[in-house]
Amino acid sequence: MNILFMTLLNIYDINEHTIYTDLLREFIKHGDSVYIVSPTERKNHEETRIIKLHNCIILKPRIGNVQKTNLIEKGFSTITLEGQIKKAIKHYYSNVKFNLVLYSTPPITLTSVIEYIKKRDAARTYLLLKDIFPQNSVDLGILPVTRWETILYKYFRNKEKKLYALSDQIGCMSQANVDYVIKHNPEVKTSRVEVCPNSIEVKKKSITYDERNALRTKYGIPLDRIVFVYGGNLGKPQGIPFIIKCLKACKGITNAYFLIVGDGTEYGKLAEFINDDKPENVKLMRCLPKDEYDHMIASCDVGLIFLDYRFTIPNFPSRLLSYIQAGLLVLAATDTVTDIGKVIVDGGFGWWCESNDVDKFVQFVKIAIMEDLTLKKSAAVKYLEDYYSTGESYKIIVGAKENE
C-alpha cells in the first residue's frame, strides 16, 4: 500500500521516536510505502522541499507561522495552510496514488486536503483522534461559548464534524474516547469508531543501578530518594495551580523528590513558586532533547500525569507510554471523565486520584515511597507490550481497512 500521513508536527527523520514515526515504521516493516506531509513554518526560513530517505519520502510545504505567534498571524496561517498543503501535494505527489490516508488531531483544519485525496485516489481515510477540539478549549475557558466566541466555536465544531464525516474509521485513544465521540456525534456510525490507542515501538529502556546513580548525579537528583518525575507540556491542560498545591503539601515528605521537566505557557507560575517557596525536594528543568529525556527518566521511580479537573472530554496523555517503557510506575491526578486512571489501576502499575484532591495525592506519594516497586514495574512493562505496541495499532488500522 501507499500510505500518506499528514501532520503539523515538524518531522525530518522517520527514525525519530514518537508515537507517529514509530507507527509509520511499522507500516514500512510490513512492506508498505510511506509518504509524509509535515509543513515547515515561515519562521524556519525554509522553502517547500522534499526529503527522500531510504524508507520514506517527507514533503515539507512552507506555511505561515501557527505556533508561538500572535493570534492574528496564527488565525491567518491556519486559514491558509490547507490551500498551501494541497498545492504542494498536487505538485510533488501528483504521480502517487494513495491507498490509505492517516492523519491526527490536532489539527481539525485539514478537511479539504483529506477530501481532495480521498476523491482523487479513492483512498481509505483513518483519523487518529488525539484531541477533541474545540470542546477542550471550552472546558478550560480558552474558547468561551459567549458572544462573538460562539461564532468561532461553531466554525471549529463544523470543521470537526466534517472531519469525522470524511473519516472512514476513527481510532480513539481509549474506550472513554469512543463513548464520547458516539454520544456527542450521533450522526457518526458506531461501527466507524474504535479504540486505537497511542502506541510505540517497544524497546527496553530500563537501566542498571550504576547507570541510575550516574544519571542522577549528572542531573543533580538525590541518590537516596524516591523520585517522582513529570515530563511534558506545562500549560493550562495540566492544571498548574493544583500541581503547586500538591508540591506544597509534599514539602515535608523528605523521602520523596519531585523532578519537573518541560515548558509551556504556565512554566513561569511553577518557576515563581519554586523561587519564592524554595522547596528542597523539587527541581524544575527546561525541556531536554527527547533521547536525553528518555534516558534521564529511566533513573526515576514514578511518572506523574496531571490533567485539569474541569475537562469534560477524556484526554489520554501519551507520556504514559514513555513512563512505563522506562520501567516507571505512574501516579495520575486527573478529571473524572478520562479513563487513564482506570487503565493504570486495573493494570496494576500505579495510582489515580482526582485533580482537585490534594490529600489523596499526598496519600499516594506516601504509599509509593513505602512500597516495594519491583512487582508493579514488571506489570507496567507487560501492559505496554500487550496493549501499546505499534504492532497492535498496525493490526487495528489495517484490519479496519480490510473489513470495510
Q: By mean pLDDT, which of 78-92, 140-154, 198-212, 219-233 is the weakest?
A: 140-154
pLDDT for position 158:
81
How many structural domains are present in the chain?
A: 2
Are β-strands 56-60 and 49-52 bridged in parallel, bridged antiparallel, or unpaired? antiparallel
Alpha-helical runs (H) found in 66-130? 71-92, 111-121
pLDDT for position 232:
86
Question: Is residue 243 domain-shared with residue 287, that is, in the same domain?
Answer: yes
Per-residue pLDDT of 152-183, as tens digits, reads: 777 777 888 888 999 999 999 999 989 988 99
β-bridge partners, 389: 200
Report residue 144's pLDDT band, with 50, 70 and 90 as the boundaries.
low
Question: Is residue 317 domain-shared with residue 369, that is, in the same domain?
Answer: yes
Name the more confident of 147 and 87: 87
Q: Stretch 217-244: mean pLDDT, rounded?
A: 92
Per-residue pLDDT of 30-45, as tens digits, reads: 999 999 999 888 888 8
Is residue 149's pLDDT more than 60? Answer: no
- The span from the CA of 216 to the CA of 214, in Å, is 6
- The span from the CA of 232 to the CA of 262, in Å, is 5
Q: Which letter does DSSP use for residue 389 in this model?
A: B
Question: Is residue 126 domain-shared with residue 215, that is, in the same domain?
Answer: no
Specify whether the CB–CB gap between 56 and 102 falls below 8 A.
no
Question: Is residue 173 domain-shared with residue 274, that is, in the same domain?
Answer: no
Average pLDDT of the residues of the chain: 87
Question: Is residue 107 domain-shared with residue 228, that is, in the same domain?
Answer: no
Element housing 139 (H / E):
helix 135-139
Per-residue pLDDT of 301-349, as tens digits, reads: 999 999 999 888 888 888 899 898 888 999 999 999 999 999 999 988 9
Give, in degrees to the nearest 5, the angle at Cα 27 between 170 and 383.
70
Q: Stretch 200-217: mean pLDDT, rounded?
A: 86
Q: Stretch 185-205: mean pLDDT, rounded?
A: 89
Question: Is residue 159 domain-shared with residue 241, that is, in the same domain?
Answer: no
pLDDT for position 71:
64
Which residue is associated with the grid cell 493490526? 395
Specify whether the CB–CB gap between 372 and 301 falls below 8 A.
no
Question: Is residue 234 domain-shared with residue 290, that is, in the same domain?
Answer: yes
Q: Which CATH number belongs to the domain containing residue 157 in this structure?
A: 3.40.50.2000
Q: Which amino acid is at 60?
A: K
Cβ-count burial 214-242 (b if 16+ within 10 Å, e if not): ebbeeeebbeebbbbbbbbbbbbbbbbeb
- The span from the CA of 139 to the CA of 134, in Å, is 9
- The span from the CA of 348 to the CA of 354, in Å, is 18
- Helix (H), strand (E), coil (C) string for 270-287: HHHHHHHHCCCCEEEECC
Specify whether the CB–CB gap between 262 and 234 falls below 8 A.
yes
Which residue is associated with the grid cell 479537573? 309
CA 293 vs CA 215, 222, 231, 273: distances in Å: 11, 17, 8, 24
Cβ-count burial 115-154 (b if 16+ within 10 Å, e if not): bebbeebebbbbbbbbbbbbbbbbbeeebeeeeeeeeebe
Which of 327, 330, 370, 363 lies closest to 346, judged by CA? 330
Is residue 66's pLDDT more than 80? Answer: no
Element housing 169 (H / E):
strand 169-172
Which residue is associated with the grid cell 471550552? 138
Which residue is associated with the grid cell 493550562? 236
Question: Is residue 112 domain-shared with residue 252, that is, in the same domain?
Answer: no
Q: Is 188 exposed, middle or buried (0-12, 13-18, 19+ CB in 10 A)?
A: middle
Question: Is residue 107 domain-shared with residue 156, that is, in the same domain?
Answer: yes
**CA-based torsion, 169, 185, 334, 311: positive or negative:** positive
Q: Stretch 11-36: mean pLDDT, rounded?
A: 92
Q: Which residues contact 306 (CB under 8 A, 6 or more apart)?
A: 230, 238, 239, 242, 243, 332, 333, 334, 355
pLDDT for position 190:
93
Q: Which residues contact 338 (CB under 8 A, 6 or more apart)?
A: 174, 176, 307, 311, 314, 315, 316
- The span from the CA of 323 to the CA of 328, in Å, is 5
Cell of 46: 525554509
Cell of 124: 481509505
Question: Is residue 250 domain-shared with residue 138, that is, in the same domain?
Answer: no
Cell of 159: 470543521
- The span from the CA of 199 to the CA of 112, in Å, is 28
Q: Stretch 122-137: mean pLDDT, rounded?
A: 81
- The span from the CA of 293 to the CA of 254, in Å, is 25
Report residue 146's pLDDT band, with 50, 70 and 90 as the boundaries.
low
Is residue 404's pLDDT more than 60? Answer: no
Residue 213 sits in which domain range? 209-387
Question: Is residue 227 domain-shared with residue 300, that is, in the same domain?
Answer: yes
Question: Is residue 282 domain-shared with residue 227, that is, in the same domain?
Answer: yes
- The span from the CA of 263 to the CA of 270, in Å, is 10
Q: Stretch 207-214: mean pLDDT, rounded?
A: 88
Per-residue pLDDT of 258-274, as tens digits, reads: 999 988 888 999 999 99
Q: By mean pLDDT, which of 10-19, 140-149, 310-319 is the weakest?
A: 140-149
